[in-house]
Amino acid sequence: MPRITAVETHDVRFPTSAELAGSDAMHPDGDYSAAYLTLRTDHPDGHSGAGFTFTIGRGNDICVAAIEAMGATLVGLDLDEAFADMGAFARRFTHDSQFRWLGPEKGVVHLAAGALINAMWDLYARVEGKPLWKLLADLSPEQIVSLVDWRYLTDALTPDEALDMLRAKASGRAEREADLRATGFPAYTTSPGWLGYDDEKMIALATEAVAAGFTMIKLKVGGRIEDDIRRFALAREKLGDGIRLASDANQKWDVNEAIDWMTRLKPYDPYWIEEPTAPDDILGHAAIRKAVAPIKVATGEHAHNRILFKQLLQAGSLDVLQIDAARVAGVNENIAILLLAAKFGVPVCPHAGGVGLCELVQHLSMFDYIAVSGSKSDRAIESVPHLHEHFTDPISYGPSYTAPTAPGFSARMYPESLRDYAYPDGAIWQS
Amino acid sequence: MPRITAVETHDVRFPTSAELAGSDAMHPDGDYSAAYLTLRTDHPDGHSGAGFTFTIGRGNDICVAAIEAMGATLVGLDLDEAFADMGAFARRFTHDSQFRWLGPEKGVVHLAAGALINAMWDLYARVEGKPLWKLLADLSPEQIVSLVDWRYLTDALTPDEALDMLRAKASGRAEREADLRATGFPAYTTSPGWLGYDDEKMIALATEAVAAGFTMIKLKVGGRIEDDIRRFALAREKLGDGIRLASDANQKWDVNEAIDWMTRLKPYDPYWIEEPTAPDDILGHAAIRKAVAPIKVATGEHAHNRILFKQLLQAGSLDVLQIDAARVAGVNENIAILLLAAKFGVPVCPHAGGVGLCELVQHLSMFDYIAVSGSKSDRAIESVPHLHEHFTDPISYGPSYTAPTAPGFSARMYPESLRDYAYPDGAIWQS
pLDDT digits (tens, 9 = 90+) for A8-28: 999 999 998 887 777 788 888
Does residue A98 lie in a domain region? no
Q: How many CB pairs under 8 A join A and B?
A: 193
Beta strands in A42-102 (DSSP E): 48-55
Higher-confidence position of A147 and B23: A147
Q: Which of B154, B187, B210 is the last residue of a domain?
A: B154
pLDDT at A375: 98
Do B132 and B206 sit in the same domain of this protein? no
Closest chain A C-alpha to B150 CA, distance in angstroms: 9
CATH (domain of B381): 3.20.20.120
Asked whether the predicted pLDDT for residue A242 surpasses 80, the reply is yes
Helix axes B282-292, A282-292, angle to 10 degrees: 100
Closest chain B C-alpha to A223 CA, distance in angstroms: 15
Does residue A390 lie in a domain region? yes
* Closest residue of chain A to B67, computed from CA coordinates: A62
Ramachandran bin of A22, using left for φ above 0, alpha for ψ from -120 to 50, beta for the remaining angles: left
Q: Do B277 and A302 touch (CB under 8 A)?
A: no
Does residue B161 lie in a domain region? no
Before A279, cis peptide (omega within 30)?
Answer: no
Do B230 and B351 sit in the same domain of this protein? yes
Beta strands in B140-285 (DSSP E): 185-193, 216-220, 244-248, 270-274
What interface predicted TM-score (ipTM) does this complex get? 0.97
The secondary element (H helix, E strand) that includes residue B168 is helix B159-170
Contacts 24+ apart (CB under 8 A), A289-294: A289/A316, A289/A317, A289/A318, A289/A319, A291/A259, A291/A263, A292/A258, A292/A259, A292/A262, A292/A263, A292/A266
* Residues paired with A246 in a beta bridge: A218
If DSSP codes are grouped into helix, strand and coil, which group holds residue A246?
strand
Do B238 and B178 sit in the same domain of this protein? yes
Question: CA dist B425 to B131, B183, B428, Å?
Answer: 33, 43, 8
Q: Which residues of A314-346 are buried (b: 16+ CB within 10 A; e: fewer)?
A: bbebbbbbbbbbbbbbbbbbbbbbbbbbbbbeb
Do B239 and B93 sit in the same domain of this protein? no
Q: Do A62 and B55 touch (CB under 8 A)?
A: no
Chain B residues in contact with A58 by the CB 8 A cut-off are 69, 96, 98-99
Per-residue pLDDT band for A100 (boundaries 50, 70, 90) equals: very high
Per-residue pLDDT band for B107 (boundaries 50, 70, 90) equals: very high
Chain B residues in contact with A311 by the CB 8 A cut-off are 280-284
B28 near A CB under 8 A? yes
pLDDT at B415: 98
How far apart CA B254 and CA A151 sit, in angstroms, is 6
How far apart CA A313 and CA A319 sit, in angstroms, is 9
How far apart CA B212 and CA A258 sit, in angstroms, is 54
Nearest to B417 by CA among B397, B375, B396, B388: B388
Do B178 and B139 sit in the same domain of this protein? no
Q: Do A66 and B59 touch (CB under 8 A)?
A: yes
Half-sphere exposure of B61 (CA within 13 A, CB side): 14
Does residue B398 lie in a domain region? yes
Do B103 and B180 sit in the same domain of this protein? no
pLDDT tens string B31-45: 999 999 999 999 999
Assess contact for A298 and A24: CB atoms under 8 A. Answer: no
If DSSP codes are grouped into helix, strand and coil, which group holds residue A237?
helix
Q: Which residues of A are catalytically annotated?
A: 220, 351
Closest chain B C-alpha to A106 CA, distance in angstroms: 6
Q: Is-catalytic flag, B220?
A: yes
pLDDT tens string A378-429: 999 999 999 999 999 999 988 999 999 999 999 999 999 999 999 999 999 9
Asked whether the predicted pLDDT for residue A102 surpasses 90, the reply is yes
How far apart CA A164 and CA A142 sit, in angstroms, is 10
Asked whether the predicted pLDDT for residue B418 surpasses 80, the reply is yes
Do B243 and B310 sit in the same domain of this protein? yes
Asked whether the predicted pLDDT for residue A347 surpasses 90, the reply is yes
Do B50 and B103 sit in the same domain of this protein? yes
Q: Which of B154, B181, B203 is the last residue of a domain?
A: B154
Owning domain of residue A261:
173-417
Asked whether the predicted pLDDT for residue B195 surpasses 90, the reply is no
Do B191 and B128 sit in the same domain of this protein? no
Which of B52, B106, B111, B280 has the most A C-beta neighbours within 10 Å, making it the best mutation to test the interface with A? B280
**Letter for the amino acid at B236?**
R
Does residue A40 lie in a domain region? no
pLDDT at B196: 86
Chain A, 306 to 365: residues with Cβ < 8 Å from chain B are 307-308, 310-311, 314-315
Q: In A185-329, which residue ranges form alpha helices assigned H by DSSP?
A: 199-211, 225-239, 255-265, 282-292, 306-314
- Marked catalytic residue, from B134, B220, B252, B363: B220
Do B186 and B100 sit in the same domain of this protein? no
Sign of the CA dihedral running A409, A19, A223, A226? negative
Chain A, 83 to 102: residues with Cβ < 8 Å from chain B are 96-102
CATH (domain of B55): 3.30.390.10
Q: In A299-329, which residue ranges form alpha helices assigned H by DSSP?
A: 306-314
Does residue B166 lie in a domain region? no
How far apart CA B423 and CA B431 sit, in angstroms, is 12
Q: Which of B154, B188, B217 is the last residue of a domain?
A: B154
Per-residue pLDDT band for B22 (boundaries 50, 70, 90) equals: confident
Beta sheet of A48-55, edge-to-edge order: A4-13, A33-41, A48-55
Does residue A31 lie in a domain region? no
Structural domain count, chain A: 1
> Region A202-212: what's the mean pLDDT?
96
Does residue A67 lie in a domain region? no
